[in-house]
């Protein structure tokens, strides 16, 4: 696919030593957060099958790619997937390697702090005090070996230092759609990966602020991926979000029991929605960040796909059979490769065909699709 050549491994990357030997496999537990609804990818993404379950690029979904990145580091028995309760069958179908009881359905949407708290409580209940790696299910990350190298570097230091670690992404342009991490002093370089004290987390900026962040060299993109000891993050919950810990830890005692889902529902009903960034990371004292140099894309909507689609001489980015006349700067995505779209005399549109559903939107307003999808569902 055009645009994907930037993911080709360099000679040096091909010779990165296997990192699976760097830490004891039994010491890791991965928690993959896969509960998003993906409304900005309508009509391909729906409430029944959101974007993390879609094959946007090849025969592996974004969720499956997230699993593939860690499969040779962490055994399937120690990978937990937290998702919306209604998506549990989809996860089990796409990741049959993972034991069925490791796919946990969250009964209500309560933001990322609730998901992380549930993951930590399950880690404590099932595994003791493992190194807990919190990963996303809807990001595109390449190359895999470089991602693993950064992950292991952060994991080793998280285990030794007792710090809360997040993975920051080296910015390549002044993005306004991403959050940012402000770096403090460098604390170490491990296996060629830089580690910093994290000063604060910044919300998505306007264009001028994003440009200033990029010029300063002191900011990284916020990836939403974390590493820490289970005991460490539980201690932070007890300090900063005690109601979360009380409700969820009381529920997790019943993990696997016939009434487990009903008890978990009652626990989630007690929680106020809050992100892990603002609930814990902004308040904790010992927080660090690694500078990640792998290629990372938060696939937040159709505009993010333009770099990964075939591009014609008129800057139309397409998947499927697309014929154009006096048309430029459009993004066209067809669910089926034999679908045909013709475009005449139009510029800067997003056109998506998926079954009986079609999206046509100006690129500068495509984010507003969420308003219509909410009304539709």
Structure confidence by residue, pLDDT tens digits, 105-130? 999 999 999 999 999 999 999 999 99
Per residue in 276-299, pLDDT tens?
Answer: 999 999 999 999 999 999 999 988
Structure tokens at 317: 């980015």
Measured torsion, CA atoms of residues 43, 47, 49, 50, in degrees rounded to the nearest 10: 70
Is the full-model pTM beyond 0.85? yes
- Nearest Cα to Cα of residue 70 among 101, 95, 90: 95
Q: Are 276 and 113 in contact (CB under 8 A)?
A: yes
Using CA of residue 43, residue 139, residue 363, residue 376, what is the dihedral sign? Answer: positive
Four-way CATH pick for 5-297: 3.40.50.2020, 3.30.70.260, 3.90.550.10, 3.75.10.20: 3.90.550.10
In DSSP notation, 165-228 reads EEEEE--SS--SSS-EEEEEEEEEEETTEEEEEEEEEEPPP-HHHHHHHHHHT-EEEEEEEEEE
212 has pLDDT over 90: yes
Q: Which two tokens stand for residue 51?
A: 């974007």
pLDDT band per the 50, 70, 90 thresholds, residue 23: low
Report phi then psi at 302, rounded to 5: -65, -30
Angle 269-275-281 from CA coordinates, rounded to 5°? 130
The domain spans of the chain are: 5-297, 302-376
CB 70 within 8 A of CB 133: yes
pLDDT-derived band at 39 (thresholds 50, 70, 90) equals confident
């Amino acid at each position: 696919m055009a645009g994907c050549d930037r993911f080709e491994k360099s000679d040096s990357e091909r010779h990165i030593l296997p990192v699976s030997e760097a830490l004891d496999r039994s010491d890791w537990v991965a928690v993959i957060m896969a509960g998003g609804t993906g409304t900005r990818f309508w009509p391909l993404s729906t409430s029944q099958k959101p974007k993390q379950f879609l094959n946007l690029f090849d025969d592996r979904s974004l969720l499956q790619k997230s699993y593939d990145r860690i499969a040779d580091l962490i055994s399937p028995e120690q990978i937990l997937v937290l998702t919306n309760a209604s998506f549990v069958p989809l996860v089990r179908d796409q990741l049959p390697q993972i034991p069925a009881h490791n796919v946990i359905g969250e009964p209500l949407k309560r933001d990322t702090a609730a998901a992380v708290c549930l993951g930590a409580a399950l880690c404590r209940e099932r595994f003791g005090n493992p190194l807990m790696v919190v990963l996303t299910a809807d990001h595109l990350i390449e190359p895999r070996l470089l991602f693993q190298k950064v992950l292991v570097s952060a994991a080793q230091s998280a285990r030794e230092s007792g710090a809360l670690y997040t993975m920051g992404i080296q910015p390549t342009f002044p993005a306004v759609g991403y959050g940012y991490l402000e770096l403090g002093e460098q604390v170490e370089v491990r296996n060629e990966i830089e580690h910093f004290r994290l000063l604060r987390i910044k919300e998505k900026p306007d264009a001028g602020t994003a440009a200033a962040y990029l010029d300063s060299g002191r900011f990284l993109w916020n990836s939403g991926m974390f590493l820490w000891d289970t005991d460490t993050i539980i201690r932070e919950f007890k300090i900063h979000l005690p109601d979360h810990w009380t409700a969820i830890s009381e529920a997790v005692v019943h993990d696997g029991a016939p009434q487990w889902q009903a008890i978990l529902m009652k626990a989630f009903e007690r929680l106020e929605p809050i992100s892990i960034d603002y609930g814990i990371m902004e308040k904790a004292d010992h927080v660090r960040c690694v500078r990640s140099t792998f290629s990372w894309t938060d696939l937040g909507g159709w505009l993010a796909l333009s770099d990964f689609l075939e591009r014609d001489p008129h800057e139309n980015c397409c998947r499927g059979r697309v014929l154009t006349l006096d048309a430029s700067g459009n993004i066209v995505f067809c669910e089926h490769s034999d679908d045909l779209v013709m475009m005449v005399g139009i510029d800067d549109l997003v056109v998506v065909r998926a079954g009986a559903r079609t999206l046509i939107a100006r690129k500068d307003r495509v984010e507003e699709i969420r308003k219509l999808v909410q009304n539709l569902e």
